[in-house]
Amino acid sequence: MTGSIVFEDVWKVYRQGRVEYPALRGVSVEVRPGELIALLGPSGSGKTTFIYLAGGIETPTRGRVVVNGHDITRMGEGERARWRRRNVGIVFQFFHLIPSLTALENVMLPMILAGHPPKPERRRRALELLDLVGMRDKADKFPSQLSGGEQQRVAIARALAADPPLILADEPTANLDTENKRRVIDLLVEANRMGKTVLYTTHDPELASKAQRVIKIVDGRIVD
Ligand SMILES: Nc1ncnc2c1ncn2[C@@H]1O[C@H](COP(=O)(O)OP(=O)(O)OP(=O)(O)O)[C@@H](O)[C@H]1O
Ligand SMILES: [Mg+2]
């Protein structure tokens, strides 16, 4: 179903040479459409790994990952990349904007890749999204000309660009001052009000307190 995440006994084992490290150890969890969820856990517990699997950036070593009703463990790499463009918006801890593109162009890029919305609407929609995150007046700046908080707001606009039903955010306030932190929190809550399923990881109590539900992870396992 649109905006849902289902993990069924998911294992992710990273291999470095001869050493194996199980980052997720049998995770089963369900996120329903429209939920606002915080994924909490200590450093190294598997939060980023969870985001990468739910977002189709990585595939599990074992188990099934079904997102928006699509079993991404059955997709090939190309299919998964195409799926991702329409199905999920990801906000990374370190923004990951493309340095050679302006804020406006960064927000338009997912629309071009997804082929949605139609071409004549893309610029207007990107400007609307930049307006939503309070960055319209800096639409023509490059990432290097923006503060961390400004870059993160552009990254949120980009995550919303192709209008995906699911937003995943990995410690989206980790590198921000109080003012920008508040704005980013408000934007994630607003995205959820717009009907999107929003799942974020955080170490920040204020951001954690906004969630409707908390999922806790320790040593790669979900705990109650
Ligand atoms: N590419 C990789 N190769 C090997 N081990 C990895 C890799 N990525 C993550 N790990 C290991 O998997 C475990 C989980 O990592 P993950 O990044 O998911 O943790 P996290 O909960 O996001 O931590 P943090 O709060 O510090 O961001 C860690 O022990 C980490 O060292
Ligand atoms: Mg992490």
**What percentage of the chain has pLDDT greater than the value 70?**
100
CATH fit for domain 34-60+76-223, picks 3.40.50.2020, 3.30.360.10, 3.40.50.300, 3.40.50.150: 3.40.50.300
Which residue bears the tokens 């302006």? Answer: 102
What pLDDT sits at residue 102? 98
- Rounded Cα–Cα distance for residues 44 and 49 (Å): 9
- Which ligand is nearest the CA of 40, by number? 1
> CB of 94 closer than 6 A to ligand 1?
no
Query: For 42-75, how does the pLDDT look when each residue is reduced to its tens digit (9 = 90+)?
Result: 999 999 999 999 999 999 999 999 999 999 999 9
Q: Kindly state the tokens that stand for 121.
A: 């609407």
- Cα 23 to averaged position of ligand 1 atoms, centre (Å): 6
- pTM for this entry: 0.95
Give the residue, by CA position, lying nearest to ligand 1 atom 6.
Answer: 14
Residue 65: strand pairing partners: 7
Q: Which of 68, 69, 67, 70 is nearest to 54 (CA)?
A: 67
Per-residue pLDDT of the chain (224 residues; tens, 9 = 90+): 799 999 999 999 999 999 999 999 999 999 999 999 999 999 999 999 999 999 999 999 999 999 999 999 999 999 999 999 999 999 998 889 999 999 999 999 999 999 989 999 999 999 999 999 999 999 999 999 999 999 999 999 999 999 999 999 999 998 788 888 898 899 999 999 999 999 999 999 999 999 999 999 999 999 98
- Cα 142 to averaged position of ligand 1 atoms, centre (Å): 30
Ligand 1 atom having least distance to the Cα of 24: 14
Domain ranges of the chain: 34-60+76-223
What dihedral angle (degrees, nearest 10) is formed by the CA atoms of 61, 63, 68, 70? 80
